[in-house]
Structure 1
Amino acid sequence: MKDSLIVVSGGMDSITLLYEYADRIALGVSFDYGANHNAREIPFAHLHCERLGIRHIVIPLAFMKEYFKSSLLSGGEAIPEGHYADENMKSTVVPFRNGIMLSIACGIAESNGLKRVLIANHGGDHAIYPDCRSSFIEAMNQAMREGTYEHIEILAPYTHITKSDIARRGKRLQVNYAETWSCYKGGEKHCGKCGTCVERKEALHDAQIDDPTEYED
């Protein structure tokens, strides 16, 4: 039964979730909020939705780039290099990004007669991103249920697993990770040095997947 909407960026996590729950997903929604990498990610979201016969739409959120402070919205040169565990990665936080996206996705879901909103936050995000943690998801889920006639719910099955676990699921699903984007700098190739690139390399290595990514280094 196609009862769900997915927030799909075009990255490894959301594309894996897209394939894992394809039989339940009626609509894929991407958000263009002016991030350095949106132009690289979103075409992959459209590609995979089209391949699976899932309608895909892009919602523009240009106001976020204008009014929000984040290195993710300030050009590729502003993105710090290193691991997500490093303190400097906090500069990549876009304040309340998932809250804004989930709110919009909730309204779109109810407008289209859908019951659930899928999001691919995962355990590796918890240290840096407050709106990826289980406590946030639970609170947002409650707000969405209470704020809609149809009691729209969040389905976030990756909340307590790692990106490596997600890559292992993708391997079983035969997801082609060459057709995904991770790098926060948004250049012609993955930089290989920012937090998302480092995490991508580790996840593919741990899942014993030959890394198909073109890196600058």
Structure 2
Amino acid sequence: MKKAVCIISGGMDSALSAKIAQLEGYEIIALHFNYGQRTQSKELECFRKVALAVEASENYEIDLPFFEQIGASALTDKSIDVPTGGIEEGVPVTYVPFRNGIFLSIAAAVAEKHAAQTLFIGVVEEDSSGYPDCRQNYIEQMQAAINLGTKDETSIEIKMPLVALKKSEIVKKSLALNVPLKDTWSCYQSEDLACGVCDSCRLRLKGFKEAGSIDPILYAKEEV
């Protein structure tokens, strides 16, 4: 059976990406990173539920504490406030330096260990927070680098099935494929009730509104 390493953050996008991998007939190897993010415990809880839902054969929960040491992001440095005033232009302070590059490098190591042919990552370029490491051409370049830096017999394809979708399309597709959205988390700063005002909450709420659906998770506020 063909194998895929799926990077699953616990969010809606990566949950849908993993579901697509399952429906494409892959044996799922689920991979999650604890990197000192503000909502680390909640994301880990959601990862475990999503991994169970896609019948992952193996789970990896990898700790990356150095992201807190590096800082430079509102997600990992509590001295930097998470923006709550609305989605801004440019790269926001919630960007974690080279996070997806590091995630993909570790995912490649896991894939090589298991002789997996594919990596799945739920990056979204068109309707995202403006992170440079979510761009399609960047992921394609990472694929080339990974295959240059692994064994000759290793050939890994990185699939990003959501990269060109809008958040509303992600919501609709998730509902159509019975992705457990109630078990996903997008909020950047709260683990009990989603704040509803950070960039990620706003994008998620906007997606549900445009899809004509109600988000199954609870919010302290709901502003789009």
TM-score where L is the length of structure 2 = 0.90
Show structure 2 runs of 5+ residues with no match: none
- Native 8 Å contact 1:34 1:61 kept in 2: yes
- Provide the secondary structure at the position in 1 that maps to 2:92: helix
Matches within 5 A, 1:44-193: 44-54=46-56, 55-75=58-78, 78-84=81-87, 86-87=88-89, 90-124=92-126, 128-149=130-151, 150-193=154-197
Q: Distance in 2 between matches of 1:121 and 1:2?
A: 22
Q: Distance in 1 between matches of 2:211 and 2:11?
A: 16
- Provide the secondary structure at the position in 2 that maps to 1:90: coil
Q: Distance in 2 between matches of 1:79 and 1:88?
A: 15
Q: Distance in 2 between matches of 1:75 and 1:164?
A: 31
Task: Tell me the alpha carbon deviations over residues 145-193 of structure 1, each in whole angstroms, 9 at most, x when there is no partner.
Answer: 2222212221112112122211111011122311110000033210000
TM-score where L is the length of structure 1 = 0.92
- Native 8 Å contact 1:125 1:132 kept in 2: no
- Native 8 Å contact 1:183 1:197 kept in 2: yes
Equivalent position of 2:15 in the other structure: 15
Letter in 1 for 2:70: Y
Residue 88 (structure 1) shift: 7.8
- Native 8 Å contact 1:171 1:207 kept in 2: no
Matches within 5 A, 1:197-216: 197-216=201-220
- Native 8 Å contact 1:201 1:211 kept in 2: yes
Q: Which has the higher helix share?
A: 1
Letter in 2 for 1:128: G
Residue 99 (structure 1) shift: 0.2
Q: Distance in 2 between matches of 1:31 and 1:116?
A: 18
Show structure 1 runs of 5+ residues with no match: none
CA RMSD of aligned residues (A): 1.8
Task: Tell me the alpha carbon deviations over residues 36-79 of structure 1, each in whole angstroms, 9 at most, x when there is no partner.
Answer: 11211121111121233212220000011112311111239710
Matched residues, percent identical? Answer: 32
- Native 8 Å contact 1:76 1:185 kept in 2: no
Runs of 4+ in 1 over 6 A off after TM superposition: none
Letter in 1 for 2:112: E
